[in-house]
Amino acid sequence: MILVTGGAGFIGSNFILDWLATHDEAVVNLDALTYAGNVHNLASVKDDPRYTFVHGDIGDTQLVAGVLERHRPRAIINFAAESHVDRSIHGPEAFVQTNILGTFRLIEATRAYWGLLPEHSAFRFLHISTDEVFGTLGAADQAFSERTQYQPNSPYSASKAASDHLVRAYHHTYGLPVLTTNCSNNYGPYHFPEKLIPLVIHNALEGRALPIYGDGQQIRDWLYVRDHCSAIRRVLEAGVPGETYNIGGWNERANLDVVHTLCDILDELSPKAGGGSYRDQITFVTDRPGHDRRYAIDARKIEAELDWRPAETFESGIRKTVRWYLDNAEWVRGVASGSYRNWIEKQYA
């Protein structure tokens, strides 16, 4: 049995779907169902006897202790977080609450549980983090490695950096067998349409403007979400406790190039009724304050030590993603209209 937190979000739900498709082992999903949590993502496994959903907050010490006691997981994978940089600029408190205090309470409850386990060296706490903790790179800088100094620039990345430090300290102070992964930008199915790639696909098809921050030359390193999930499984299986692993697919792209690629694939797969290109909908808007210029992951450690490689290139992954959004228009409409909340209430009332 493994415990996944934040499993109703974008990466967590892809992780659970892949896990249940490839493992016999059961999964408990602990999720507070914030605006970003959508149990509809997991509708296909809802009745699977290996899947259990618990509605709750990682910062609720009593609830977490009860979940650990009842389900006795051999590993915890902590995806739960406030994850959107723009939201952290407008309202940082929720980020401090969940990403820092929530992670602290979760790991503290984990320490108590782990201390009583008979097989406690086999236990793992895998903390999912981001490359944004490293700050920003100039055009000529080398990619972020595991030895790069933390220099978080947004309230989001600062709160994730704080949680990474807490997790690291629990290994050094108490010997808790923790692993941390720092991954680049993900994209793929079930991505909430506040983030660049799903937002562009959604707005393009709705005939709306495609907003680009500043000059669109901010560089991100993109990884297909299922490749991130396969890397997490590999780290869980073979990672050395106390170590951190950077995860990325060597796919640096400027935001404007990503949007052009999306428009071109949409032009091909779903041409505009009146003719013309989706590129005509691009509009440039005022840049995000403190917008990091470039992120890039040096993934040599996980490749060399754990023999992990992504299955998708940017070109194959982005095409799959556009196809998924075209084939799942109902999911996108439901999320965009907020109607999945009614569905949740009915299922989990």
Ligand X SMILES: NC(=O)c1ccc[n+]([C@@H]2O[C@H](COP(=O)([O-])OP(=O)(O)OC[C@H]3O[C@@H](n4cnc5c(N)ncnc54)[C@H](O)[C@@H]3O)[C@@H](O)[C@H]2O)c1
Residue 98 touches ligand X, criterion: CB under 6 A: yes
Nearer to ligand X, 102 or 155 (CB): 102
* Per-position DSSP letters for 60-105, written without gaps between them: -HHHHHHHHHHH--SEEEE--S---HHHHHH-THHHIIIIIIIHHH
Judged by CB under 6 A, the residue of 80, 85, 137, 210 near ligand X is 80
Query: Of 28, 165, 49, 146, which Cα lies nearest the Cα of 99?
Result: 165
The least distance separating ligand X from the CB of residue 150, rounded to whole angstroms, comes to 14
Residue 155 touches ligand X, criterion: CB under 6 A: no
- What are the residue numbers of the active site? 131-132, 156
Judged by CB under 6 A, the residue of 2, 3, 4, 11 near ligand X is 11
Residue 317 touches ligand X, criterion: CB under 6 A: no
Residue 112, CA distances (Å) to 69, 116, 309 in order: 10, 7, 35
Nearer to ligand X, 9 or 281 (CB): 9
Residue 59 touches ligand X, criterion: CB under 6 A: yes
The least distance separating ligand X from the CB of residue 187, rounded to whole angstroms, comes to 7
CA dist., res. 307 & res. 243, Å (int): 16
CA dist., res. 293 & res. 87, Å (int): 19
Judged by CB under 6 A, the residue of 27, 33, 297, 322 near ligand X is 33
Interacting stretch for ligand X, rule CB under 6 A, among 2-10, 19-27, 172-180, 290-298? 2-10
Which run of H or E residues covers position 178?
strand 178-183
Interacting stretch for ligand X, rule CB under 6 A, among 64-72, 179-187, 291-299, 338-346? 179-187
Interacting stretch for ligand X, rule CB under 6 A, among 54-62, 135-143, 269-277, 339-347? 54-62
Site size toward ligand X, by CB under 6 A: 31
Which run of H or E residues covers position 224?
strand 219-224
55 three-state secondary structure: strand
345 three-state secondary structure: helix
CA dist., res. 101 & res. 349, Å (int): 27
Judged by CB under 6 A, the residue of 4, 17, 27, 58 near ligand X is 58
Residues 106-145: x/- map of binding to ligand X (CB under 6 A)? ----------------------xxx---------------
Phi then psi for 251, rounded to 5 degrees?
-125, 70
Residue 227 touches ligand X, criterion: CB under 6 A: no
Query: Of 29, 1, 24, 23, which Cα lies nearest the Cα of 11?
Result: 29
Residue 154 touches ligand X, criterion: CB under 6 A: no
Nearer to ligand X, 63 or 272 (CB): 63
Residue nearest ligand X (C-beta atom): 9
Query: Of 250, 246, 251, 252, which Cα lies nearest the Cα of 145?
Result: 246
Q: At what angle do helices 155-174 and 103-115 cross, to 10 degrees?
A: 20
Residue 81 touches ligand X, criterion: CB under 6 A: yes
Cβ pair 18, 228 in contact under 8 A = no
CA dist., res. 76 & res. 143, Å (int): 29
Interacting stretch for ligand X, rule CB under 6 A, among 1-9, 144-152, 203-211, 326-334? 1-9
Binding site for ligand X (CB under 6 A): 5-6, 8-12, 31-34, 36-37, 57-59, 79-83, 98, 102, 128-130, 160, 183, 185-186, 192
